[in-house]
Structure 1
Amino acid sequence: MFTRIFGKPKQEANALTTLDKLNETLEMLEKKEKVLLKKSAAEVEKAKEFTRAKNKRAAIQCLKRKRLYEQQIEQLGNFQLRIHDQMIMLEGAKATTDTVDALRTGASAMKAMQKATNIDDVDKTMDEINEQTENMKQIQEALSAPIGAAADFDEDELEAELEELEGAELEEQLLQPATTTPESPMHVPAGRQPTRPVSVKPTAEEDELAALQAEMAL
């Protein structure tokens, strides 16, 4: 168990250490390649000088050394390619290992969750929920049921009494006399209003005249 726990960090550390070592080696080879390129170019310049000086043998020696440098440069290039290939493979292997570890961790988590939520436990939980729901319904029905004197009332008798009340109300409405609506005043067009006698208050002279005529009549 401890090997499984501590094995992964150790392997990961080894992979990182190897990558660092490969990077250092690659940098060293690149530096050597640059030095050899400069030496090769210098031999070419020397060969040109010996050629201008008509020293053919010395010029040929320079070209030979240039060829040797070129062979070493080509060899260093092959080494760099091998190191690049090794780094790519190691990085790919590390990515694969990380992916597998992540998938293994996910599978273990899912397995643990499935174990925690066994189908038997789920069925048992659902049965408990259904039982509690049924008990709650029974409690609600018990609380809503009438108790005491209200429990002795006959629903049929109550409905019959309600029908009698409705019949009496309807009979009372039928026997009630119809209310007469007040006649609306007759509309008379403007300009045709009936003339009413205008009462004129008698004056004092008219009163005296009336009294004189009464005396003469006697």
Structure 2
Amino acid sequence: MFTRIFRKPKKEAPSVTTVNKLNETLKMLEKKENVLVKKAAAEVEKAKEFSSAKNKRAAIQCLKRKRLYEQQIEQLANFQLRIHDQMIMLEGAKATTETIDALRTGASAMKAMQKSTNINDVDKTMDEINEQIENMKQIQEALSSPIGAAADFDEDELEAELEELEGAELEEQLLQPSTKTTAPAPAAQVHVPPGRRPTRRASVKPIDEEDELAALTAELAL
């Protein structure tokens, strides 16, 4: 517990420490520059006063000191420019280093993933997926298959029964009499499973031609 409380702070990176040091130096140079600017302005005011008092020698001395201050101001400006240049270079180097570290980390992670993933394992996984899909298809087919009494129906017999019904319906439409005289419809055939069909099929009474002709004559007379 005490080690957690009194743990030493982590050391900052060298680039961060350097940038902080340059910032401190830059602020110090700016302060000195401001002081020199004020001193140069003060010497100008003194030179004006001495000039007004006809003290030419003292005025010239003030201007000389002003020139010295201006030289120092220019020198400090050059120092600040170099520090700014150094900071820009450090920031660029830091960005480059961080980019390289990130790329290196990504490459290491990708390499580790490739080691943990074998091509044989991928093929095995795909085979297992295909096998599961095939098993699911078989399960779906088994569930969709008819069970119980429906499984005993013969598809061929059902199709034959459907053809008989369609043929009877077509025959009924062809033999349909006029609207006034209606003939009895042919009896629908009843499907009987094999082994239970009677030896004789239900006979359909044919339509009398004379009745049909009489009904046609009556319709024409109207």
With structure 2 as the length reference, what TM-score do the two structures score?
Answer: 0.60
User: Are 1:71 and 2:81 an aligned pair?
Assistant: no
Aligned partner of 2:137 in structure 1 is 137
For residue 37 of structure 1, what is the amino acid of its counterpart? V
Aligned partner of 2:207 in structure 1 is none
For residue 63 of structure 1, what is the amino acid of its counterpart? L
Aligned-residue CA RMSD in angstroms? Answer: 3.4
Q: Could you tell me the percent identity over the aligned residues?
A: 86
Q: 2: distance between equivalents of 1:11 and 1:124?
A: 49
CA shift for structure 1 position 51: 3.1
Q: 2: distance between equivalents of 1:71 and 1:113?
A: 63
**Residue 159 to residue 39, structure 1, CA distance change in 2 (3 Å):** closer
Q: 1: distance between equivalents of 2:27 and 2:64?
A: 27
**Residue 81 to residue 174, structure 1, CA distance change in 2 (3 Å):** closer
For residue 34 of structure 1, what is the amino acid of its counterpart? N
Aligned partner of 1:180 in structure 2 is 180
Which secondary structure state, in structure 1, belongs to the residue aligned with residue 127 of structure 2?
Answer: helix
Q: 161-170 or 57-66, which moves further after superposition?
A: 161-170
User: Are 1:18 and 2:14 an aligned pair?
Assistant: no
**Residue 37 to residue 170, structure 1, CA distance change in 2 (3 Å):** closer
Q: Which structure is richer in relative contact order (CA contacts within 8 A, separation 6 or more)?
A: 1
Q: 2: distance between equivalents of 1:174 and 1:58?
A: 142
**Residue 53 to residue 127, structure 1, CA distance change in 2 (3 Å):** same
Which secondary structure state, in structure 1, belongs to the residue aligned with residue 42 of structure 2?
Answer: helix
User: Structure 2: any 5+ residue segments left out of the alignment?
Assistant: 1-9, 183-222
For residue 105 of structure 1, what is the amino acid of its counterpart? T
Aligned partner of 1:53 in structure 2 is 53
Aligned partner of 1:83 in structure 2 is 83
CA shift for structure 1 position 144: 4.2
CA shift for structure 1 position 170: 5.4
- 1:58-207 counterparts in 2 under 5 A? 58-145=58-145, 154-167=154-167, 180=180
Q: 2: distance between equivalents of 1:55 and 1:144?
A: 121
Aligned partner of 1:31 in structure 2 is 31
Q: 2: distance between equivalents of 1:145 and 1:138?
A: 11
For residue 32 of structure 2, what is the amino acid of its counterpart? K
Aligned partner of 2:190 in structure 1 is none
Which one has the largest radius of gyration?
1
Q: 2: distance between equivalents of 1:55 and 1:172?
A: 145
CA shift for structure 1 position 172: 6.5
For residue 101 of structure 1, what is the amino acid of its counterpart? D
For residue 102 of structure 2, what is the amino acid of its counterpart? A
With structure 1 as the length reference, what TM-score do the two structures score?
Answer: 0.61
Q: 2: distance between equivalents of 1:52 and 1:111?
A: 83
Aligned partner of 1:199 in structure 2 is none
Q: 1: distance between equivalents of 2:174 and 2:87?
A: 109
**Residue 172 to residue 32, structure 1, CA distance change in 2 (3 Å):** closer
Which secondary structure state, in structure 1, belongs to the residue aligned with residue 180 of structure 2?
Answer: coil
Q: 1: distance between equivalents of 2:55 and 2:177?
A: 154
**Residue 21 to residue 179, structure 1, CA distance change in 2 (3 Å):** same
Q: 164-173 or 65-74, which moves further after superposition?
A: 164-173
Which secondary structure state, in structure 2, belongs to the residue aligned with residue 180 of structure 1?
Answer: coil
